[in-house]
Amino acid sequence: MAPLFYVIDRKKMDTPALDLSVPPFNLLSPQQVQRLSAGLHLEYFESGQTIIDSGQAPEGIYVIIKGKVEEYDGDSVERDSLHLVSQFSEGDLFGSLAVLKGAARDAYVAFEEVICQVLPARLFIDLVHENPEFRHYFHKGLATMSKHRQASAEREGDDFSLVKVGDSVTRKALVVSADTSIRDCVVRMRGAHIDSALVDFPGEAGSYGLVTGTDLLNATALDGHSAQTPIRVCTGRNLIAVDAEAFLFEALTVMARHHIKRVVVKRESAIVGVAELADVLGFLSSRSHNIGVSIEKAQSIQDLQEAVSHIPPLIRNLVDKGTRIRFMMDLLAALNNRLVAKVWELTVSDEVRNNTALVVLGSEGRGEQIVRTDQDNALIIRDGFDWPEQAQDTQRFIDRLIELGFPPCPGNVMISNPEWAMSEQRWNERLSGWVHNLDETALMNLAIVLDAQRVAGDAKLLDRMGRTLVEQMTASDIFVSHFSQPVMRFAVPLTLFGRVKKEQQGVDIKKGAIFPVVHGLRALSLKYGVRQSNSFKRIQELVRCGAIQAKLGRNLESALVLFSEYRLRSHLRQLGDNTDAARVNNYIEPHRLNRLERDLLREALHVVKEFKDWLALELHIRG
Amino acid sequence: MVAKTLKTLGTRFKVQGTPWEPLFMPYHGDEVVSIDCETTGLDPHNDDLLTVAAVKIRDGKIMTSEKLDLRLPASPKQAADSIKIHGIRKVDLAESVPFSEALPRVLDFIGNRPLLGYYINFDVTLLNRYIRDSFGFELPNPTLELADIFKAKTRQQDGADLRLERILDELNVPTFGRHTAIGDATMVAMAWVKLQKATQRL
C-alpha cells in the first residue's frame, strides 16, 4: 500500500506552488504530483469577471494564488449578498464538484483581481480515477474531511480521551452469592485485592447487585449486623453501568454524576467487570475528578470557589490534549450541574429542596456549554408549598453563582426573577399562554424550557411540566412549524470572509450556524416526541425513529462538533486576553483558520444550509 | 523598419526548404511567448547563455503546462557574481542540454509567435548570436517589450522607475522564483496579461 502522505520539497518549485502539504494534494504520489505540476496553468481574472458560469462545464479546478472569489447561487441571476453562497480566498480550491458533475451549479465570480492555478479538468479527472484517496476527498462529505484533518493533526500517544474503559481499567469482577456471609465476602474480597463484589442472587438468573467494602463496614459497624449475616441485606441492586467501549472519560462522568466510586462494565449487556475510581484516576493525569470530589466535599462557597478555580486550567489542558469535544461537554456539564446543585444545597433548606425542582435551561440544559458564558435557570415549586423567604433565598443563590463565575443572564432568565420561579400551576398557565401567544419572546422562552434539565430537587415536578408542555406544543402541526420558524431567521454565514467591511468581526458561529441546527433539532424532537435535551442525543434518536436520514444525522453531528470546537477555541482565546466572561463573543475569525479548517467550516455551513432547506419542506416553514 | 523587413525577406529566401521556413511566415494566431535568459553577464555580444526559459500565453492564460526550461553547458566565464544573482553554480549545469539540441528546441517552441520579455532586446540579441552561428539567420519574430508597454499603458513619466520589481509590484503580481529564467518569464507573462486586460477595460 502506498504511503498516505508524501513529503514534497516545495522550495524546488519555480512556479507559484500549491500547498502540497495539506489535503487533497498530499494524497497524491510523487509521480502524480509531478504530472499535476506539469499540467497546471495560470490564469488572471479582473474584478467582476465570471470565472465559471452556472451551467457551464469548467475548464478545470482552480486554486487561488491571489485575490478573492465569490460563489453565487445558480438558481438566480442576482449577484447580491442574498444570493452569495460562499467566498474563497488565497489557497482555497473551487470548481471540483462542477468538474466531476460536468456542469457548475453556481457561478464563480472574481470579487477582486484574482490569479489562479488551473488544474485542467481532464488531468483532474484522471487523478481522481487513479487515486482512491484523492477521489474520496472530493466525493465524500464532511465526515471524511474531518478524518483527514485528524490524520494531519498528528495527535498521538497519551491522548487519554481515546482510552476505552474495556481496554484499561476494567477488572474481572469477583462474583459472590447473595447468601454468602459478610465475613466470607470480606475474606474473598481481600484475597482478590478488590474493594467490591458482584452479588449473584440465586434463582434470579442474570440479576446482579453490587456490594462494596464500605457497604459491609456500614452493615456491621452501624446497622448492627453480625459477620454471619448474608450479604444480601446490604447489597445495592441499582447497578450503574458503562459500556466497555466507552471512553475513560465517560466512566468518570458517570461516576461524578452519581457520586459513586465504581461502575459495572458491560459489553453488549453482559457484565464483563468493574471499573474502580482509583484505577481510573491512576490512569488519568487530569484533575477533572479531583474537581468533582472537591465540589462534593465543599462545605462553603469558599470551598466551591477553590474547586471552580481549577476548571479553566482543566479545560485548557483537555483542549491541548485534543480531547474530543463531546466528552468535554459531558464532563463540564456534569461538573457544572453538580456545582449548581451544591450551591443550591448550601443556600436553601432541605424542605425547600424537596418541594422544588431546580432546572437549568438552554445550552446548560442541553449540556453543551463548556466555557460558562451565561446562566439560564428556573425553579418549579410544588403547588401549595409555602416559602416566605423565596425572594431572599433565590437572590442569594444567584449572587453566589455570579460570585463563582457564572455570568448573569442578560435576559434575566434566573430564579431570582419571580417570572422564572413559579408554582406548578402557574407554570402551566404561563406555558399555555406562551403556546397561544406565539410572539417571538414566547417562542424563545418555550425553546429554552424545552431544553430543561433538573439539577436538584424533585424530578417529578419537571417531568410533569415537560409532559404538559409537549402535549400543548404538539396539539397542532401548525404550532410546530411556527415554532421552528426562527431557524430561518439568520442567513447561513456562507460568505466566509464576509464583505470587506465585516472582516474584523468574522463569522457569528452561534447565530448563523449553531442556532439553526440546535433549534431545528429541537423542533423535530418536539414533532417526533423525542425526549432528549442534548442535541447529539436528539440526532441519535431522530435517526433511530427514522425522522432524519442517517447520513444527514452524521453530517449534522460532524458540523455541530466542528462549530463547537471552533467556538471553544475562540472563547478560550478571548478569555486568554482577559476578556470578561460575560462579554465573550461568538465570532470566528476566518483568518485564524488554515485552508483545511476553512474548507471544513465551509462544508459544515453547507450542511446547515441543506438542513434548513430540508427542514423548511419537512415542517412547512414559510421562508 | 524597412531594413528589418528586407533582411527578413532575404533570410526567408535563404531558409526556403529548410525546417525553419515556417519561422518566417507572418503570424496569424493570438499566442505570445514570454521568454527569459540567464547569462554570465550583461553584455549580449560577449556573455554566455546559461539557461533559457519560455512560456506560452494563450487566450490570456499562462500555459505553465507548456513551458520550456533549458540549462546549457557550463561556461568558463561563469563568474562568482553571476552565481550570486542567479544561484546557478557550475554543478547545477551538470544536467544541461548541449547547444546543438537546445537551439532547435527553442526555435521549435517559439515558432513565429511574438516574443515578450523584460528588456527583450537583450535576450533576442544574445539568442541571435548563437542562432546565427548555428543556422545562419536571426530571429524574425516581432517583440513586445514589457517595460514599454507598462510605461505607455500606465502613463509613466519619462525617466520613471521601470525596474521589473517595481512593475510587478505596481501591477500586484505575486513574486516567486525570482531570478530563475522560468520564474521571470512567468511573472512577466502575468504582468503583460494584466496590462492587456486593463486595456480592454478602458
Of A514, A438, A496, residue with least CA distance to A472: A438
Q: What is the pLDDT of residue A538?
A: 94
Report CA-CA distances (Å) from A532 to A338, A498, A506: 20, 35, 32
Residue A552 is placed in which grid cell?
A: 444527514
Give yes or no for residue A155 having a pLDDT over 60.
Answer: no
Q: Do residue B60 and residue A44 have CB atoms under 8 angstroms apart?
A: yes
Of A41-50, A69-78, A480-489, A491-500, give the range with the top mean pLDDT: A41-50
Q: What is the pLDDT of residue A575?
A: 79
Give yes or no for residue A466 having a pLDDT over 50.
Answer: yes
Establish whether domains A10-139 and A161-283 are of one fold.
Answer: no
Q: Of A59-63, A413-417, A447-451, A619-623, where does mean pLDDT reach its minimum?
A: A619-623
Q: Of A311-315, A340-344, A489-493, where does mean pLDDT reach its minimum?
A: A489-493
- The β-bridge partners of A575 are none
Give yes or no for residue A340 having a pLDDT over 90.
Answer: yes
- Confidence band for B5, pLDDT divided at 50, 70 and 90: low
Q: What is the pLDDT of residue B103?
A: 94
- Segment A357-365 mean pLDDT: 92
* Residue numbers in B near A46 (CB within 8 A): 197, 201
Higher per-residue pLDDT: A373 or B101: B101
Of A33, A86, A98, A15, residue with least CA distance to A62: A98
How many domains are there within chain B?
1
Whether A550 and chain B come into contact, CB under 8 Å, resolves to no
- What are A123-147's pLDDT values in tens digits? 998 998 888 888 877 765 555 555 5
Chosen CATH of A161-283 out of 3.30.499.10, 3.10.580.10, 3.90.1300.10, 3.40.640.10: 3.10.580.10
Taking the CB of residue A223, how many other CB atoms lie within 10 A of it? 11
Q: Where are the domains of chain A?
A: 10-139, 161-283, 288-473, 488-618
Instruction: Label the pairing between strands A114-120 and A262-267.
Output: unpaired
Contact A78, A112 (CB under 8 A): no
Distance between A32 CA and the closest CA of chain B, angstroms: 14
Give yes or no for residue B58 having a pLDDT over 50.
Answer: yes
Show the domain range for B149.
Answer: 30-201
* B66 HSE (CA, 13 A, CB side): 15
- What are A521-563's pLDDT values in tens digits? 999 999 898 888 999 999 999 999 999 999 899 999 989 999 9
Please report, as a single letter, which amino acid is at residue A145.
M
Q: Do residue A43 and residue B60 have CB atoms under 8 angstroms apart?
A: yes
Higher per-residue pLDDT: A393 or B10: A393
- What are A288-310's pLDDT values in tens digits? 566 777 787 788 898 899 888 88
Q: Is residue B119 situated within a structural domain?
A: yes
- Segment A569-589 mean pLDDT: 77
- What are A182-199's pLDDT values in tens digits? 999 999 988 888 888 889
- What are B98-131's pLDDT values in tens digits? 899 999 999 999 999 999 999 999 999 999 999 9
Q: Provide the sign of the torsion angle of the four alpha carbons A394, A400, A404, A406, taken in this order.
A: positive
Whether A38 and chain B come into contact, CB under 8 Å, resolves to yes
Minimal-distance CA residue of chain B relative to A13:
B177
The whole-angstrom separation of Cα A471 and Cα A448 is 17
- Confidence band for A569, pLDDT divided at 50, 70 and 90: confident
State percent of chain A over pLDDT 70. 86
Q: What is the pLDDT of residue A358?
A: 96
Q: Do residue B64 and residue A40 have CB atoms under 8 angstroms apart?
A: yes
Q: Which strands make up the sheet holding A196-200, listed edge to edge? A: A175-177, A196-200, A208-212
Please report, as a single letter, which amino acid is at residue A72.
Y
Whether A436 and chain B come into contact, CB under 8 Å, resolves to no
For chain A, the average pLDDT equals: 82
- Confidence band for B13, pLDDT divided at 50, 70 and 90: low
The CATH code belonging to domain A288-473 is: 3.30.460.10
* Residue numbers in A near B60 (CB within 8 A): 43-44
Give yes or no for residue A283 having a pLDDT over 60.
Answer: yes
- What are A202-253's pLDDT values in tens digits? 877 777 888 988 888 888 888 888 889 999 888 888 888 888 887 777 787 7
Q: Which strands make up the sheet holding A60-66, listed edge to edge? A: A93-94, A60-66, A114-120, A41-45, B61-71, B49-58, B32-39, B115-117, B143-145
Q: Is residue B112 situated within a structural domain?
A: yes
Residue tagged 410546530 (cell numbers): A480
Q: What is the ipTM of this complex?
A: 0.75
- Confidence band for B81, pLDDT divided at 50, 70 and 90: low
Q: Do residue A118 and residue B174 have CB atoms under 8 angstroms apart?
A: no
Q: Is residue B19 situated within a structural domain?
A: no
Q: Is residue B25 situated within a structural domain?
A: no
Which DSSP state fits A415? T
User: To which CATH superfamily is domain A10-139 assigned?
Assistant: Jelly Rolls (2.60.120.10)
pTM of the model: 0.60
- What are A60-85's pLDDT values in tens digits? 999 988 888 888 887 777 777 667 77
Higher per-residue pLDDT: A177 or A8: A177
Of A262, A282, A260, A263, residue with least CA distance to A163: A282
What CATH number is given to the structural domain containing B34? Answer: 3.30.420.10
- Segment A319-341 mean pLDDT: 82
Of A95-99, A287-291, B72-76, B140-144, give the range with the top mean pLDDT: B140-144
Higher per-residue pLDDT: B99 or B2: B99
Whether A121 and chain B come into contact, CB under 8 Å, resolves to no
Distance between B125 CA and the closest CA of chain A, angstroms: 25
The whole-angstrom separation of Cα A269 and Cα A608 is 36
Higher per-residue pLDDT: A372 or B30: B30
The whole-angstrom separation of Cα A492 and Cα A86 is 10
Q: Pick B194's closest partner by Cβ from A15, A44, A118.
A: A44
The whole-angstrom separation of Cα A374 and Cα A406 is 6
Q: What is the pLDDT of residue B82?
A: 58
Q: How many CB pairs under 8 A join A and B?
A: 55
Q: Is residue B4 situated within a structural domain?
A: no
Q: Pick B180's closest partner by Cβ from A14, A38, A41.
A: A14
Q: What is the pLDDT of residue B131?
A: 92
Q: What is the pLDDT of residue B202?
A: 45
Q: What is the pLDDT of residue A282?
A: 66
